[in-house]
Amino acid sequence: MTGAERLSLNLITVDHWTLPEAVSRCAEAGLGWVAPWRHQYDDAAAAARTIAAAGLRVSSLCRGGFFTADGARADNRRAVEEAAALGAPVLVLVCGPPRDRDLRAARAAIAAGIDELLPFAVEHGVRLGIEPLHPMMIGERSAIVSLGEALRLARTFADPGIGVVVDAYHVFWDPRLEDELAAAAGLVAGYHVSDWLVPTESVLAGRGLMGDGIIELPRVRTSVEATGYAGPIEVEIINPAAPSLDDIVARFPDG
Amino acid sequence: MTGAERLSLNLITVDHWTLPEAVSRCAEAGLGWVAPWRHQYDDAAAAARTIAAAGLRVSSLCRGGFFTADGARADNRRAVEEAAALGAPVLVLVCGPPRDRDLRAARAAIAAGIDELLPFAVEHGVRLGIEPLHPMMIGERSAIVSLGEALRLARTFADPGIGVVVDAYHVFWDPRLEDELAAAAGLVAGYHVSDWLVPTESVLAGRGLMGDGIIELPRVRTSVEATGYAGPIEVEIINPAAPSLDDIVARFPDG
């Protein structure tokens, strides 16, 4: 795959569009893939038909995880079922924040939650992808905030049904990034791109178009691909001033 | 040292006060120390007299570093001279952001800048303290964003004249924190506290009073003290809604 055929639009980027509208526009723009979020459809099977009818495939479903929340077990099983219905090969796991100031307990709960979920995911043909988030998101979203931690966690299961999702925006700062990826053959389940803008004005919604920020994206991609990852690359730009699809295609994948 | 005698107010916390006002109030509140910033005085020797006259000592000077900026060499020498004039045992280094998207080049420039500065600092009796900042500050302030990287850098010099400054706010997220500190005997040159508020609403100025956030501060302090660090603990709360000195004393050091 080269060019836009490898481009998957993570649909949080265009969360202001309906799913049918997003799918239609992505197909017109020549994209090969989309990655929906669970709040963007009511019925996963109907969403799957909409996406397939447009000639697109699903690269991943966002998101499962939040293992530290009440009700996580049932909700994650539904997420796996929805991923299977969508034909999504990967369910992205945003693992959940600590409760009561206890990071170790959160990390243990995350490991236990994945251990419980993994056989169910494997049965459904859905790979789990642990996504380390940027450490600035630890309070609200994830106690897993470095690629090294995500890889260590994935390795504990020694199962091809689990890997990590590398988002350049979340991990580029890490001085250990290249060494971690050099030892991660076969463990990358997805790759996301956007850019880190300077000045950094928002903790959540300040992501930029590839090339507008400071991430050395070609270098990160080289390291990701050296692990053997050759699947779709998701563009995930969370920003109220969402770039146009034309600009995204023009800047894909490295700015 | 126990209680407020071990408390050093990092004066960025009360940057809306003049230096004489801050010093006077800290002395009244029973503090033993202050840590001024360079923009808070015109004449370091005069500032030193003001601080000494109030019966306070200087725990550190903020800040040197920014090795990736033009003019860094001369500015850092002035910072060392000012630290010596103030009687500050430590000059805190905020090492500077990458330029032109090149993190490796930034990290190399930082290492070279410290290598050049260290003999000058040793001559002046000032220890350099590399402060890893939170990874969300990489674009504007520092390419050194993890304690592990700061320690590796400090160790390359094999010189007691250089160490690291541990700020709980900047490093608490790191799953390697305790292991890194367990191997850092003698390398901690300072310890800073504040708290990580949830929700996280500001990249720079969202720090909270100890106990108001999610950092397990007693646990971090235990690890820091196990390295042998027994010096002053700086409270550094950057927030437009600065807490009162009474509240800071009441919550010191762990909330």
pLDDT in tens, B108-154: 999 999 999 999 999 999 999 999 999 999 999 999 999 999 999 99
**How confident is the model at residue A204, as a pLDDT?**
84
> Does the N-terminal peptide bond of residue A89 adopt cis geometry, omega within 30 degrees of 0?
no
A200 within domain boundaries: no
CB A171 within 8 A of CB A216: no
What is the Cβ-side half-sphere exposure of residue A246, based on CA atoms within 13 angstroms? 0
At A2 the pLDDT is 59
A132 contact B CB<8A:
no
Over range A249-254, report the average pLDDT: 96
Buried b (16+ CB within 10 A) or exposed e, A103-123: beebbebbbebbeebbeebbe
Q: What is the number of domains present in chain A?
A: 2
Q: Which residues pair with B34 in a beta bridge?
A: B9, B58
Phi, psi dihedral angles at B192 (to 5 degrees): -115, 145
CB atoms A135 and B138 under 8 Å: no
- Which residue has 């409760």 as its token pair? A99
Give the model confidence (pLDDT) of B6-17 as tens digits.
999 999 999 999
pLDDT digits (tens, 9 = 90+) for A181-226: 999 999 999 999 999 999 988 888 899 999 999 999 999 999 999 9
How far off is chain A from B200, nearest CA to CA, in Å?
Answer: 7
B window 109-128, beta carbon within 8 A of A: none
Q: What's residue B2's pLDDT?
A: 59
What's the CATH code of the domain at B163? Answer: 3.20.20.150
pTM of the model: 0.97
- Asked if A114 and A164 count as a contact pair (C-beta separation under 8 A), the reply is no
Which residue in B172, B183, B12, B182 sits closest to B92, CA to CA?
Answer: B12
B28 belongs to a structural domain: yes
The answer to whether residue A97 neighbours chain B at the CB level (below 8 Å) is: yes
- Would strands A188-193 and A233-235 be described as parallel, antiparallel, or unpaired? parallel
Q: Are residues A81 and A103 in the same domain?
A: yes
The torsion region of residue B96 among left (phi > 0), alpha (psi -120 to 50) and beta comes to left
Domain assignment present for residue A243? The answer is yes
Nearest to B135 among A98, A135, A216 (CB): A135
Mark whether A125 and A168 lie in a shared domain: yes
Burial class (CB in 10 A: 0-12, 13-18, 19+), B171: buried
pLDDT at res. A1 = 58
pLDDT band at A4 (very low <50, low <70, confident <90, very high): confident
Interface test with A, best of B145, B153, B173 (most A CBs within 10 A): B173
Round to whole Å and give the CA distance between B171 and B147.
7
Instruction: Quickly count: other Cβ atoms within 10 Å of residue B19's Cβ.
Output: 19
Residue A171 domain boundaries: 60-194+218-231
| pLDDT confidence tier of residue A250, bands split at 50, 70 and 90 | very high
